[in-house]
Chains A and B, each alone.
Chain A
Amino acid sequence: MKKVLFRPSKLKIFLLLFSLLFLTNVYAQDEPDLDDTEEIEEVSGADPQKGKELFNSLCAACHKPYKKAVGPALHGITERRDLDWIYAWTKNSKELIDSGDSEAIEIYEEYNRQAMPAFPQLSNEDIDDIIAYVEQPKPEPKTAKKDDSSEVAATGDGVSTEVILGILAFVFLMLLVILVLVNKTLRRFAEANNVEIYKKKEKSKPIWVAFAENQFLVLVSVVIVLLMVAYGGYGYLMQVGIDQGYEPIQPIHYSHKIHAGENEIECKYCHSSARKSKHSGIPSLNVCMNCHKQIAEVSEETATEEYSKEFYDNEIQKLYDATGWDPETQSYTGETKPVKWVRIHNLPDFAYFNHAQHVTVGQIECQTCHGPVEEMEILYQYSSLTMGWCINCHRETDVKMEDNPYYEKIHEELSKKYGVDKLTAAEMGGLECGKCHY
């Protein structure tokens, strides 16, 4: 696989800006809102808004309105069951099962004999509210609409620009023609009146010949050219093997922007081994599944212009394929396909780097070396990872010695020796070859 550099073409940016410009308006106009639009009141007097709050606080852990999760999808429940049954089940499902209700037993068996917790605190009205909320019709996927509207907007705009441009070009052309015609006419007048038309004077030496004859100039420019070539060559050679900006295509489009940025998940939640190991560790897939058992699709707001909701949902599906998770039955099939991530940060074998030393002992932010990961849709190598880069940091960074009994003695002695209060990594011996090369 070749590395793909992060170089969005100008055209793309241009189009993006244009479509964004128009999109914002479109949103404001057409966005269908679940909360506001056409509420179907299945149960008279029920408040779907209140139902939504209740649903999110009590039910959402196991239920989704339109999709099966730990429990069944709740949309359409009023068609499947009568209201009294729903009241009884919600308040205490165990009781209903024990009473031998065939429907209750059936559903209990279907969902792996996991009884739904009892909610005795809910009144019938509350349950009505929840039903009102879940029985709202499934909203049309926004992204499709969004795409349509943006397309329309873009094309509409495109036509008008072309027209304007066309008219402008036509005007310019006409002006040019007029100019030529006027010139012709004037000449004719001049000839007729015997006015002498100014002629070019004798050809002088071309400037490049003059330049070539001036040896001093030639010498200076040759020197300058050579220096430039050397500078460029050196620069080129020095970047060989440095993959700053390396942004490979990964088997699963994992967005750090969504996880670390929008959802503010702590880096070390997933990269937990950074705390005590030399490796930060690519999280094993069971860590992903801690959350993604529940999150089978992204919310509408997550989708962007570039990546649609379908795209993201498809990526989550890839995770399910890899772990062998079947969202229908909410269970693992046992068939796994480990993901082959493309490693971005590659230190050579002869350099030893330990994450725990920097992250736990040194308390250095991940972003110091890895850059604004929380803003990266696709992760890339932010730092150069050259030895010079390491050494610079070791020279400038103070070692965090406070409250660490390990450092007590050495800090006291060294600060006396150097006459400083804070000690840099370099003063601690962090520039010695053998500290990183063995």
Chain B
Amino acid sequence: MNEENLNQDMSSEKKYWKSAEQLKENSPVVDALEQNEFVEHIPTDEFLGDKENLESSKTSRRDFLKYVGFSTAAASLAACEGPVIKSIPYVVQPERLVPGVADYYATTIADGFDFASVLVKTREGRPIKIESNKDATSMTAGKPRVHASVLSLYDIKRLQNPMVDGQSSSWTSFNKEVRAKLESTTKKIVLLTQTFASPSTEQLIQEFSDKYNNVEHVVYDSVSATAALDAFEKTYGLRALPNYDLTNAKSIVGIGADFLGDWLGGGFDAAYSKSRVPKEGKMSKHYQFEANMTLSGANSDERFATKPSDQKQVLVEIYNQIVGRVASTNLSEAHQEAVKKAVKSLKKGGKHAVLLCGIEDVDAQLMSLAINEALNSELTNIENPRMIRQGDANKVSQLVKDMNSGAVGALIMSGVNPVYTLPNSDEFVSGLEKVETVVDFALTMDETAKLSTYVGALPHYLESWGDVRLTYQDYSLVQPTIKPIFNTRHFQECLLDWTDNSLSYYDYIKAGFTKRHDGMPWNHTLHDGFYQVDSVFQPSIDASFNANAAAKNLTKSTSSGLELTLYTKSGLGDGQQANNPWLQEFPDPITRTSWDNYLTISRSDAEELGLENKNVANGALNGSYANVTVGNTALQNVPVYIQPGQAKGSVGLALGYGKTESIQEEMQVGVNAYPLYKDFNAVQEVKIEKASGMHEFACIQLHNTMMGRKDIIKETTLEIFNTKDKDYWNKTPQVSLDHIETPVDSPDVDLWNEFDRSIGHHFNLSIDLNACTGCGACVIACHSENNVPVVGKSEIRKSRDMHWLRIDRYYSSKETLIGDYEKKENIKGLGSALSEFGELEKPSEENVEVVFQPVMCQHCNHAPCETVCPVAASAHGRQGQNHMTYNRCVGTRYCANNCPYKVRRFNWFRYNKNDEFDYHMNNDLGRMVLNPDVTVRSRGVMEKCSMCIQMTQLSILEAKREGRPIKDGEFQTACSNACDNGAMVFGDINDKESLVAQKKEDERTYYLLEYLGTKPNVFYHTKIRNTNEA
């Protein structure tokens, strides 16, 4: 502000100043500043005044103009010419590789957290998609993380060379130096690794131990399963995890176990879904006692919000009632009721019943094993336990102590990142300084690698050889699907080198395989990717645990404060793939929030603490910050998310966020919750206080309830489904025609003439709301198949997400949606409408019910979007697909406005090769994941689900080429292919024998917003909830 003007213009004598200097009379500094536009003198004279220099310069003004003129002319000329495109064929083309035709390889992901048999689709030698290995006997893919792992292969932050002292090195010198160190050390050598579950690696580590004396192998799982492992070992004599097959389940009771999430490595959902679809009027009954709202709770028939300390009481009470009375419990009346119901159901289910307990406590795990033994549960598969977690938390704690005492000479790590994941990371770091030689094998220069002298660059699993023992009987092989992109080597290869073994790791695995499984064909097994051995686990049952003492231990722990349950999200998991933009943008199935972790809290607790969630004008969600303290560790500014269904007195926080090393700036989101994971116990007592400021969430669905709107979700109970007519619970909507109610599917009320679709293929997609667990595998599969761009947090916040397929999550406030519906129907008069609608809108505190509904383009036969497009960019095909022609689209967005399902997505920006969106599409490495058969869309065009027309067209072409009719099951979309649960079925309804044609005739079939008369080609199956007593 100019001081002089102020003095003249203003009537008062008030003086404003920015600096004390201004108060002085005739200050030279102030004068100078006021007179000059720029604070410093611009050195024009130094440049132009130097005549000599100017004259000696070879560039005259004329030259300058010439250059400008020439470059302008050249640029405009160049613009007239089309670009010259080069094509470089192979010098020697690998046999059987045909450019343009995809090849599939069976392999296995085994990164220590996720284990699954997968099929990898490769094009021209580069993997572009992960699919489920449906033939595999155990752990077929399924999780979003597994599907997204292909993008982590093309992570630009990956280590490209082995590093010695922070400098790129060669493997020869790396191995030579490490070897010298190993041979010279007199102290013990410790191998700290992830769970490999690999027979050949075990053998190799044994050989390594034989060569170097005093070797210790410590297995470390970042998210520990120590309690379950210990309990199983104690009871059955093998360090493994119990395995459950829920296919024939009649009664499932879960206590704090998110078995549809990551509990015991996950992967129970496909079998679970089979038991949830009513067959002959029967389906499984699922009770869930849990604190955080999880996928398992969301899918249960009855969910009881139970804070962790109460979960222990519930377990003991169930033990009391099923096995025998051991201790008295202290439960609320509601919980006692619930336990009674659960016990009744378990008893009725008998050998088809199972109790799944996720309480991280050996006593609790022992009790749950005993309960299942008492039930004589056939669903617990003791003969074929899971081998995918081997970590021992106690050994890890001991190691940290040993390191600090200076007892460790060399520490060799592989596949772990303890500096980030250990709760006592500080101690580990100080211990590292006392270790003579630190070697770390890692994919990226992560927190631990940064502090290591020797860093071995690991290959991604898609570039690796390996073998994995998933369960006692089921093995799976890992084979490379691409030549290593960088100068990387396995930890195992280095072990071979250090033990003077001249075999390559591949030969080593093959030799071990041939030795262990005599007569099994290697090539054939490699092709299949998995094999099963006949010998089952023979448990030596030791039932001698002291139930009384265990129960006493469990019941005595009552807490007064808030209890925190740490969990892993189905998106990011333990945080290994934090630099994966697909996973970051993947909305959490429950909270529908991406790019964040947050403290979930119940509404009543939030109100007590003054924490709030608010939706701002454009619909985006804001939440308060809180400081979270566990013992003497505090996390500052954790965003708070008020979660319907969160047990009162409990809070939740996801692990795996807040990573900063070797993570692109955009992906450095959330807070690191590992420091709160004290003693590897997911349940902690916390103190929470409000902090200032509001956090901006990227939440894509307001968490209000359905308010009884039955036309979107149709839901009923098993009882009504079994006893009442279809018209009662799944009535075709009626519209008024000349004041006569007419069913909406009648031709009389149709605006359009029906087009004959009986010839050729007519594609339909069936979605069963009973089988859908909301896991989100389809969302990532769709992302990867269709080159869907990642838009980033701030764009998501503006509701500009590009997901072609979203999984809507709906809460209902009453016992069932029907209850809400009846309440809505009974509203009489304005007064009651106001109050009761308000009541419906507010999710009830604890007992909400959840429904997941995948929604993509419904491919309406009478599509509202097609009629409003001024350039006919959206048109209908005879096969039922609604075609979107990008090159025709001019971006008016009328179609999106007119779409009742809101499934059309607009490219507000160019999301590829754009520094503003610095995700995988902005670098050459990341773009290798793009599907060459699908156009990468540009700015200003509309896009949406195409029903994977590139896949159906390919199936048709293959059949034509081979001259055969198409079999049912050949037609797939990315989402239906990724759905292991059988919730999505795709096919040709003109083939009357096809599964989808049969599903369309099912009584449960309904269409989304059917009363609009859009005649969609996607249909849903009414959700049936098992509310029957037991």
**Those of A388-438 within 8 Å (CB) of chain B:** 403-410, 413-414, 417, 429, 432-435, 437-438
Contact in complex: A277, B87 (CB < 8 Å): no
Query: How close is B887's CB to chain A, nearest CB, in angstroms?
Result: 4
Please report the C-alpha to C-alpha distance between residue A239 and residue B42 in the assembled complex, in whole angstroms.
Answer: 52
Contact in complex: B886, A356 (CB < 8 Å): no
Query: How close is A329's CB to chain B, nearest CB, in angstroms?
Result: 18
Q: Does B936 contact A (CB under 8 A)?
A: yes
A3, A408, A432: which contacts B875 (Cβ < 8 A)? Answer: A432
A338/B89 contact (C-beta < 8 A), A1-B84, A434-B881, A437-B886 known = yes
A279, A324, A351, A406: which contacts B99 (Cβ < 8 A)? Answer: A279
Contact in complex: A281, B99 (CB < 8 Å): yes
Q: Is the interface of A mostly helix, strand, loop or mixed?
A: loop
Chain B residues with CB under 8 Å of A403's CB are 963
Q: Does B879 contact A (CB under 8 A)?
A: yes
Contact in complex: B759, A404 (CB < 8 Å): no
Q: Does B969 contact A (CB under 8 A)?
A: no
**Those of A256-302 within 8 Å (CB) of chain B:** 272-273, 276-279, 281-287
Query: How close is A417's CB to chain B, nearest CB, in angstroms?
Result: 7
Q: Does A348 contact B (CB under 8 A)?
A: yes
Please report the C-alpha to C-alpha distance between residue A403 and residue B875 in the assembled complex, in whole angstroms.
Answer: 32
Contact in complex: A346, B85 (CB < 8 Å): yes
Q: Does A205 contact B (CB under 8 A)?
A: no
Which candidate, B30-38, B809-817, B949-957, is the interface stretch facing chain A?
A: B949-957
Q: Does B322 contact A (CB under 8 A)?
A: no
Please report the C-alpha to C-alpha distance between residue A343 and residue B101 in the assembled complex, in whole angstroms.
Answer: 20
Q: Does A361 contact B (CB under 8 A)?
A: yes
Contact in complex: A339, B89 (CB < 8 Å): yes
Contact in complex: B100, A281 (CB < 8 Å): yes
Chain A residues with CB under 8 Å of B85's CB are 342-343, 346
A241, A282, A413: which contacts B759 (Cβ < 8 A)? Answer: A413
Contact in complex: A409, B101 (CB < 8 Å): no
A-B contact count (CB 8 A): 154
Chain B residues with CB under 8 Å of A405's CB are 963-965
Chain B residues with CB under 8 Å of A434's CB are 875, 877, 881, 883-885, 946, 949
Q: Is the interface of B mostly helix, strand, loop or mixed?
A: loop
Chain B residues with CB under 8 Å of A410's CB are 759-760
Contact in complex: A338, B101 (CB < 8 Å): no
User: Which of chain A's residues has its CB closest to B935's CB?
Assistant: A350
A243, A273, A323, A433: which contacts B100 (Cβ < 8 A)? Answer: A273
Please report the C-alpha to C-alpha distance between residue A2 and residue B82 in the assembled complex, in whole angstroms.
Answer: 9
Contact in complex: A338, B953 (CB < 8 Å): no
> Mask for B867-889, Cβ within 8 A of A = 1, else 0?
00000010101110101111110
Q: Does A341 contact B (CB under 8 A)?
A: yes
Contact in complex: B91, A322 (CB < 8 Å): yes
Chain A residues with CB under 8 Å of B936's CB are 349
Q: Does A352 contact B (CB under 8 A)?
A: yes
User: Which of chain A's residues has its CB closest to B934's CB?
Assistant: A438
Contact in complex: A360, B961 (CB < 8 Å): yes
In this complex, which of A3, A322, A405 has the most chain B Cβ atoms within 10 angstroms of its Cβ?
A: A405
Q: Does B825 contact A (CB under 8 A)?
A: no
Taking residues whose C-beta sits less than 8 angstroms from the other chain, chain A's interface range is: 35 or more
Chain B residues with CB under 8 Å of A435's CB are 877, 953
Q: Does B752 contact A (CB under 8 A)?
A: no
Contact in complex: A273, B760 (CB < 8 Å): no
User: Which of chain B's residues has its CB closest to A408's CB?
Assistant: B965
Q: Does A357 contact B (CB under 8 A)?
A: yes
Q: Does B523 contact A (CB under 8 A)?
A: no
Contact in complex: A429, B91 (CB < 8 Å): no
**Those of A329-374 within 8 Å (CB) of chain B:** 336, 338-343, 346, 348-352, 354, 356-357, 360-361
Query: How close is B949's CB to chain A, nearest CB, in angstroms?
Result: 5
Q: Does B518 contact A (CB under 8 A)?
A: no
> Mask for B58-88, Cβ within 8 A of A = 1, else 0?
0000000000000000000000011011111
A277/B957 contact (C-beta < 8 A), A405-B964, A434-B875 known = no
Query: How close is A410's CB to chain B, nearest CB, in angstroms?
Result: 5
Q: Does B966 contact A (CB under 8 A)?
A: yes
Please report the C-alpha to C-alpha distance between residue A346 and residue B81 in the assembled complex, in whole angstroms.
Answer: 14
Contact in complex: B101, A277 (CB < 8 Å): yes
Query: How close is A157's CB to chain B, nearest CB, in angstroms?
Result: 41
Query: How close is A387's CB to chain B, nearest CB, in angstroms?
Result: 9
Chain B residues with CB under 8 Å of A352's CB are 933, 950
User: Which of chain B's residues has its CB closest to A416's CB?
Assistant: B759
Chain B residues with CB under 8 Å of A283's CB are 89
A243, A248, A285, A348: which contacts B887 (Cβ < 8 A)? Answer: A348
Q: Does B728 contact A (CB under 8 A)?
A: no
A346/B950 contact (C-beta < 8 A), A356-B957, A410-B760, A433-B875 known = no
Q: Does B527 contact A (CB under 8 A)?
A: no
Chain A residues with CB under 8 Å of B91's CB are 284-286, 322-324, 336, 338
Chain B residues with CB under 8 Å of A243's CB are 82
Chain A residues with CB under 8 Å of B609's CB are none
Could you list which residues of chain A lie within 8 angstroms of chain B, going by C-beta atoms? Answer: 1-3, 241, 243, 248, 272-273, 276-279, 281-287, 322-324, 336, 338-343, 346, 348-352, 354, 356-357, 360-361, 403-410, 413-414, 417, 429, 432-435, 437-438
25 contacts between A and B (CB under 8 A): A241-B82, A273-B99, A276-B98, A276-B101, A277-B98, A277-B100, A278-B100, A281-B98, A282-B87, A284-B90, A341-B88, A342-B84, A342-B87, A343-B85, A349-B935, A352-B933, A352-B950, A404-B963, A406-B960, A414-B759, A432-B877, A433-B875, A434-B875, A434-B884, A438-B933
Other A-B contacts than A273-B100, A277-B100, 8 sampled, CB-CB below 8 A, are A3-B82, A277-B98, A285-B91, A322-B91, A339-B89, A406-B964, A410-B760, A413-B760
